[in-house]
Chain A
Amino acid sequence: MQRSFLIKNPSVMIFLAVLTVFTILVTFSSEAFGAGIISTSFVKTLGKTLCLALIAVAMDLVWGYAGILSLGHFAFFGLGGYMIGMWLMYERTKEIVATSMAQNPIPPTAQEVVDGIGTQIFGVVGSSEFPVIWFFADSLFMQLLLVVAVPGVLAFVFGWLAFRSRVTGVYLSILTQAMTLALSLYLFQNDSGLRGNNGLSGLQNLPGVTASQDYVSIWFFWASALALALGYIFAAWIVSGKFGSVIRGIRDNEARVRFLGYSVEGYKLFLFTVTAMIAGVAGALYYPQAGIINPAEIAPIASIYLAVWVAIGGRGRLYGAVLGAVFVSLVSTYFTGGQAPDINLGFYRIQWVDWWTILLGLSFVLVTLFAPKGIGGLFDLIAERRTPDRHGADLGPDQGSLREREAEE
């Protein structure tokens, strides 16, 4: 009799329990269902943070477990946001246009309504025609499908091209970064069909919903928490079985796994595609809470920040990724939101809005140098799990089977 998945992985239980407690606490402190201690905008921030935690889990799967440092997952995140944003914007504009056209003495034809929506949406980029990619914009089901399908297909095609020509390590990172840059530059054009640098806006308004943002924010918070829970369980399930062993093997020594007869490319491609889909879902939940999406969100730097979160949280363990994303993004919000008090040095006044990024960058260097396990490593102290003292530090992906001093010898 095999032990069940959850008993083998007690951390999943603990994580789910913490997440549940957190969700209940937030719900009863919110303005909609409870004491109103937490403002609606902060509920949104928390909900967005959970979405970031979800994409961090995806990033940890692909980087921490399979050793693929993808600098493109935020592009998939953004694409997910764009896909749901198209539906939200279309339906919302349709409501507005239909209301205003109902004032006309003659009822509008279906074509006139569509034309009106087109003028409303694409007026800012000097057009009124619906581009082909908006074909499914009136169907929630199709757009939800596209939320996972578009990032999935893009990741599949890109991954297939990259992995089959055995692009690995830093080359792959640079290539994914280039892909992200290409995508964001493309979306920046006005004729890309997604409103250029204006992006899609007004996404916080759900079509057909009259409830106030207090309620909508809590719904999204629940949805984000649920998505994170499911994503976490899925990720934990993937890495706990034989599949997980193979991908860790690929991380540590790709050639050896290949010689053992595994289809390395297939494993990598599967993982890359699946994590891209998870990223798409996270994005689809994130941007309705943010209210606006534009190509700047997809810029390569966002994907690198994602790697920063995972690294600070501790890669190679799923709760580390969640911790890193939650910790860094909340602290970032605190410092860049102007809430942190300035430090007066007498000759210079440190304003955190300006200096936070510098602090983040430097602490990132320090974490890389001195604490490669990140915040998650603290749990090893509690669990009193010691790393055996082998020859020097962990070399990380690609050469993980060797230690620093071994590599030099």
Chain B
Amino acid sequence: MLKRLLVVVLAMFCLATQVVAQDAATEPTNETASETEAVALGPMQEVLQSVSELIVDSSRRTIQPAIDAVAGSGLDAAPFVLETWQARDMWQRISDGQFFKAVKAGDGYALTDFDTGEVVATVTKDDIEQIKPNSGIQGLIGSALVAFQLNDPDPAKRREALASLERNASEDLLGVLRASIDNEEDADIRARKERLEKLITITYGTDPANRIAAIESVAGNLDVAVRGALNPLVATRIMAFDGAIPDDVNVARELRVGSEALSREEAYALTDGEPLLTDDALRGLLQANIVDGAVGGVPVAELSDPERRVAAFEALEAAGTVPPAATEDDVDAALDGKVFAAVYSEPNADVTDAAQSALTAIETKVGLFQIFDLGLDALSLGSIYFLAAIGLAITFGVMGVINMAHGEFIMMGAYTGYVVQQIVPNHTASILLAIPLAFAVTFAAGVAMERLVIRYLYNRPLETLLATFGISIALQQLAKNIFGTQARPLTSPDWLGGAWVMNDVVSISTVRIAIFVLALIFLAVFLFIMKRTRLGLETRAVTQNRGMASAMGINPERVNMLTFGLGSGIAGIAGVAIGLYAQVTSEIGQAYIVQSFMTVVVGGVGNIWGTLLGAGLIGILQKGIEWFNPSNTLAAQTYMIIFIIIFIQFRPRGIIALKGRAAGD
């Protein structure tokens, strides 16, 4: 059905008076009845018989009255006939010239009467003849059908008709569409019809006032189709004029030759001068005219000089060996006195002005929404960085330990999620299970690392950096050995698979919202642990003054171990979250480690709010730079890092710098 509808709409032209079909529906069709009463034909059959010759003739030029007769008959069977006809299922019985729908049944054909809709006879193929409308006629029939479909009692059919109209709107259907709006009861379909009516009016309307009104009514509408309808109106092409531009031309703007919009070559191509001689063409011509080791008297050996090439060409041109071509002087002469302008293909200036201002309004609105969307993206990216950096904010920010293997803890968390998903097939359950498990795994790894390596290196930050780097490359290679180099998928559950869509411009995927929420939760957890728990108190005490803290009965070794484990564990959970939207590879940690350190350093070491601000700043920066050059995320990262390096110049201690004793200088 849909396919047929498509065919129907595909070739629609010239729709005339079908609209009146509805009004004419009640009128009896008795003028033909008298002639055929002997056979007692059905009313539709009578109509068909009245235009029988036209139908059989099946000519694109003469068929319209026949279609009108059927469509305007006001009979219930009209759409059925049209559909049948269009699908080439209408056959004529040779014996009496009546028309039927014929369907192949066994050896013969079952004939269905149009009026009753019942099978009246089964005949052989020799008894009937097929009516074969060509594609032009099919298009005309289709146009007639749309009127019926738009008024079909079945809302689903009306929607279908609208959908195909949206794809293939045309001027002729405007009347049908307008007529069908008044009778529409379904509010939703009515709104769609009205919208479509405006779009078609904009594109195909004949009355400028109507078009302008329609254009003004859609100003500020973010619908892509609206922009699709408006854009062709303001499309321009460049034309050349001698002297002044005539008044009847709708000029968008005049162009200067040699400007960015119109290069010299392009301008010359618009004039009807001799073809411009390109370097390639010149070489080809010379090459074809080598005579005795010289071209036009110039020895071939000298032709590596461009000026000699031109000289050789001019000699050839003078001798008439080659057709003349434009040189630079010719181009100047041709361009002299010409005026170039970008001209709207739409002749009515009021319409183009209205379209232009409507488009400007739409673009302004789109721009605002895009900035909003960019803000959402930046927020989401910032929360990813925050998530990756928050563990580091504990180990580096609070404890002052440079952990280059932090990225590998993120990786371990992500791989834990992957392994859990291999064992537990239910995605929701596996994610819920993976989070505590990732925390446990990386917590254990962090504690082990602190006990075995880092505790010997407190006070020696550079060596901590190197030792943890050694661990980092070992862990990375280990992951490669176990899981291979290819990316492992961590599938998010279905309820995280969608996206939140505000309109055509603004949308954000659910996973990113979840990561944002998770980042907020982590922030709360961090604040709670640091400010409200015994561990947080002891951690702060040990960080500020280890000796005094142990004098107060705190075991600094234990506190350091637990704090480091906590920071690593959070990195593990971050790994699960990051794995949900990025591919899990052994290098996933590497991708975040530098940015994480940057986040902590930019924000201000030792302050979680600073880390939050730092993550936000980096997110906004990166997205902001990407906005200027969307195709190039690499460049965005480059410029962002350069910006950070410069930023550090002005605030070496970060956005929120600790002051006084806490700064620990």
The answer to whether A and B belong to the same complex is yes
| A interface residue numbers (CB < 8 A to B) | 67, 69, 104-112, 158, 161-162, 164-167, 169-171, 173-175, 177-179, 181-183, 185-186, 188-189, 191, 300-301, 304, 307-308, 311, 354-355, 357-358, 360-365, 368-369, 372, 395-399, 404, 407-409
Q: Residues of A contacting B652 with CB < 8 Å?
A: 165-167, 171
| Contact A107:B303 (CB < 8 A) given known A174-B601, A357-B474, A396-B463 | yes
Interface: B635 (CB within 8 A): yes
Interface: B547 (CB within 8 A): yes
| Contact A165:B469 (CB < 8 A) given known A178-B594, A182-B637 | no
Pairwise interchain contact B472-A361, C-beta atoms closer than 8 A: yes
A185 to B480: give the CA distance in the assembly, Å: 23
Q: Which of B304, B590, B635 contacts A186 (CB 8 A)?
A: B635
Cβ < 8 Å to A, chain B residues 547-589? 547
Pairwise interchain contact A188-B634, C-beta atoms closer than 8 A: yes
Pairwise interchain contact A307-B459, C-beta atoms closer than 8 A: no
Query: Nearest 10 pairs between A and B by C-beta?
Result: A361-B474, A364-B470, A182-B641, A357-B477, A107-B304, A361-B473, A365-B470, A186-B638, A368-B467, A361-B470
Interface: B513 (CB within 8 A): no
Pairwise interchain contact B470-A161, C-beta atoms closer than 8 A: no
Q: Which of A107, A169, A175 contacts B648 (CB 8 A)?
A: A175
Q: Which of A170, A355, A365, A404 contacts B462 (CB 8 A)?
A: A170
Pairwise interchain contact B634-A369, C-beta atoms closer than 8 A: no
A244 to B620: give the CA distance in the assembly, Å: 45
Pairwise interchain contact B463-A368, C-beta atoms closer than 8 A: yes
Q: Residues of A contacting B309 with CB < 8 Å?
A: 109
Most chain B CB atoms below 10 A, which of A105, A174, A188, A308 = A174
Interface: B20 (CB within 8 A): no
Pairwise interchain contact B477-A354, C-beta atoms closer than 8 A: yes
Q: Which of B461, B477, B590 contacts A358 (CB 8 A)?
A: B477
Interface: B471 (CB within 8 A): yes
Q: Which of A171, A360, A368 contacts B466 (CB 8 A)?
A: A368
A158 to B652: give the CA distance in the assembly, Å: 14
| Contact A396:B645 (CB < 8 A) given known A166-B652, A360-B473 | no
Q: Nearest A residue to B309 by beta-carbon distance?
A: A109
Q: Write the nearest CB–CB distance from B292 to chain A, whole angstroms.
A: 13
A395 to B547: give the CA distance in the assembly, Å: 19
Q: Which of B301, B461, B594, B645 contacts A169 (CB 8 A)?
A: B461
Pairwise interchain contact A308-B470, C-beta atoms closer than 8 A: yes
Q: Residues of A contacting B634 with CB < 8 Å?
A: 185-186, 188-189
Q: Residues of A contacting B472 with CB < 8 Å?
A: 361
Q: Which of A67, A106, A300, A354 contacts B287 (CB 8 A)?
A: A106
| Contact A161:B473 (CB < 8 A) given known A107-B301, A174-B597, A185-B638 | no
Q: Residues of B contacting A361 with CB < 8 Å?
A: 469-475, 477
- What 0/1 pattern do residues 154 to 167 of B give for CB contact below 8 A with A? 00000000000000
User: What would 13 more interface pairs be, CB under 8 Å, given A300-B594, A354-B480, A408-B546?
Assistant: A105-B300, A107-B303, A109-B305, A109-B309, A111-B306, A158-B645, A161-B645, A189-B632, A354-B477, A358-B478, A363-B470, A365-B474, A397-B462
Sampled A-B contacts (24; CB under 8 Å): A106-B283, A107-B303, A111-B306, A112-B279, A112-B283, A161-B649, A165-B652, A171-B652, A173-B462, A177-B594, A178-B644, A181-B594, A182-B645, A183-B638, A185-B635, A191-B632, A304-B404, A354-B477, A360-B473, A361-B469, A361-B477, A365-B453, A365-B471, A396-B462
A343 to B332: give the CA distance in the assembly, Å: 80
| Contact A109:B304 (CB < 8 A) given known A161-B645, A166-B652, A358-B474 | yes
A364 to B601: give the CA distance in the assembly, Å: 26
A361 to B471: give the CA distance in the assembly, Å: 6
Q: Which of B459, B463, B601 contacts A372 (CB 8 A)?
A: B463
Interface: B481 (CB within 8 A): yes
Pairwise interchain contact B459-A173, C-beta atoms closer than 8 A: no
Interface: B191 (CB within 8 A): no
Cβ < 8 Å to A, chain B residues 279-301? 279, 283, 286-287, 290, 295, 300-301
Q: Would you call the interface of chain B mostly helix, strand, loop, or mixed?
A: helix
A174 to B602: give the CA distance in the assembly, Å: 11
Interface: B441 (CB within 8 A): no
A264 to B207: give the CA distance in the assembly, Å: 81
Interface: B460 (CB within 8 A): yes
Q: Nearest A residue to B644 by beta-carbon distance?
A: A178
Q: Residues of B contacting A109 with CB < 8 Å?
A: 304-306, 309
Q: Nearest B residue to A403 by beta-carbon distance?
A: B459
| Contact A364:B469 (CB < 8 A) given known A161-B646, A178-B598, A395-B460 | yes
Q: Residues of A contacting B306 with CB < 8 Å?
A: 109, 111
Interface: B525 (CB within 8 A): no
Pairwise interchain contact B462-A398, C-beta atoms closer than 8 A: yes
Q: Residues of B contacting A369 with CB < 8 Å?
A: 453, 456-457, 467
Q: Residues of B contacting A177 with CB < 8 Å?
A: 594, 597
Cβ < 8 Å to A, chain B residues 252-292? 279, 283, 286-287, 290
Q: Residues of A contacting B300 with CB < 8 Å?
A: 105-107
Q: Nearest A residue to B469 by beta-carbon distance?
A: A304
Pairwise interchain contact A181-B467, C-beta atoms closer than 8 A: no
Most chain A CB atoms below 10 A, which of B301, B306, B404, B638 = B638
Interface: B465 (CB within 8 A): yes
Q: Residues of A contacting B402 with CB < 8 Å?
A: 170
Q: Residues of B contacting A307 with CB < 8 Å?
A: 466, 469
Q: Nearest B residue to A255 by beta-carbon distance?
A: B665
Q: Which of B304, B459, B632, B649 contacts A399 (CB 8 A)?
A: B459
Pairwise interchain contact B547-A408, C-beta atoms closer than 8 A: yes
A164 to B649: give the CA distance in the assembly, Å: 8
Cβ < 8 Å to A, chain B residues 612-665? 632, 634-635, 637-638, 641-642, 644-646, 648-650, 652
A162 to B642: give the CA distance in the assembly, Å: 12
Q: Residues of A contacting B465 with CB < 8 Å?
A: 69, 170, 173
Pairwise interchain contact B459-A404, C-beta atoms closer than 8 A: yes
Q: Residues of B contacting A409 with CB < 8 Å?
A: 547
| Contact A362:B474 (CB < 8 A) given known A165-B652, A182-B637 | yes
Q: Residues of A contacting B594 with CB < 8 Å?
A: 174, 177-178, 181, 300
Q: Nearest B residue to A370 by beta-carbon distance?
A: B456
Q: Residues of B contacting A158 with CB < 8 Å?
A: 645
Pairwise interchain contact B477-A108, C-beta atoms closer than 8 A: no
Q: Residues of B contacting A107 with CB < 8 Å?
A: 300-301, 303-304
Q: Residues of A contacting B286 with CB < 8 Å?
A: 106
Q: Nearest A residue to B652 by beta-carbon distance?
A: A165
Q: Residues of A contacting B461 with CB < 8 Å?
A: 169-170, 398
